[in-house]
Amino acid sequence: MKRRVPEICPHVYQVGGDNLSRGEDCCVYLVESSGQGAIIDTGAGASADDILDNIEYSGFKLAEIRHIIITHGHIDHIGGMKTFKDRLKAEVIAHRLDLAAIEEGRPELTAAPYYGVQYEGVKVDKVLTGDDKLELGELTLSLVHTPGHTPGSISVYADIQGQRVLFGQDIHGPFAPEWGSDRKEWARSMRKLLDLEADILCEGHFGIYSPAGEVREYIEGYLRRFRG
């Protein structure tokens, strides 16, 4: 069933996850500005067409979506990528340290067996080696390397009409040696996110947090939980 997507703030929409697509999907976000769009993550795959249909049903043009930003190589974030790339013809952006998951589809890295998903690797068009920026219409998306959950995890933020919006996928973990988790690296990454002083957090599975005090408490809560 097609669903109208909720606006989180000007230029930012949640288009998948929660009640917008299947339960195994991460939260999928759309950022648009001046006739250009970027998708952040793609869900686990089974509802990829539904997510794209949600976007069209809500009045956005798929032809204007130029970029698919992958925050890390787990199946609930990359499973829909082939469908997205085939339909959107958009540039895929991800960090080089998660290419073995995203391009090769190594199951111990994607965690696909946990979801019963057969994943077909997708080539990354723009490979990040550190922090970077993406110009999207009148907005600048900052792509920040935040390793810990996986080696190539990234977070995204943008300053929009006086508010800093942070896309911090899987702040909550989990951690496993088979996909290269490092809790010390993760803690450093979380402190980097705290330093951004975001006003709105769009999280990977647990929704939206705002204002800034709630964002800080959410991140600090996991730092306390996983301390040591």
**Confidence at residue 114, expressed as pLDDT on a 0 to 100 scale:** 82
Is 42 in contact with 48 (CB distance < 8 Å)?
A: yes
Residue 79 belongs to some domain of the structure: yes
Residue 35 belongs to some domain of the structure: yes
Is 75 in contact with 112 (CB distance < 8 Å)?
A: yes
Sequence letter at residue 37? G
Residue 2 belongs to some domain of the structure: no
- Pairing assessment for the beta strands 163-168 and 154-160 based on DSSP bridges: antiparallel
Q: Enumerate helices (H) and strands (E) in the chain, giving the number of each.
A: 8, 13
* Both structure tokens of 131: 């922090």
Residuewise pLDDT in 10s, the chain (228 residues): 788 999 999 999 999 998 899 999 999 999 999 999 999 999 999 999 999 999 999 999 999 999 999 999 999 999 999 999 999 999 999 999 999 999 999 999 998 888 888 898 999 999 999 999 999 999 999 999 999 999 999 999 999 999 999 999 889 989 999 999 999 999 999 999 999 999 999 999 988 999 999 999 999 999 999 975
Residue 122 belongs to some domain of the structure: yes
Give the span between the Cα atoms of 204 and 169, in whole angstroms.
4
How many domains is the chain partitioned into structurally? 1
Segments forming the whole domain that contains residue 73? 7-225
Residue 1 belongs to some domain of the structure: no
Q: Residue 210, Cα to own-chain centre: how many angstroms?
A: 18
Is 129 in contact with 138 (CB distance < 8 Å)?
A: no
CATH of the domain at 116: 3.60.15.10
The DSSP code for 160 is E
Long-range contacts of 208-215 (CB under 8 A, 24+ apart): 208/8, 208/14, 215/166
Residue 41 belongs to some domain of the structure: yes
Longest dimension (CA), the chain: 47
Residue 165 belongs to some domain of the structure: yes
Please give the C-alpha separations between residue 156 and each of 13, 63, 181, in angstroms, as whole numbers.
14, 22, 20
Residues 6+ away with beta carbon under 8 Å from 108: 178, 179
Residue 203 belongs to some domain of the structure: yes
How many C-beta neighbours within 10 Å does residue 184 have? 9
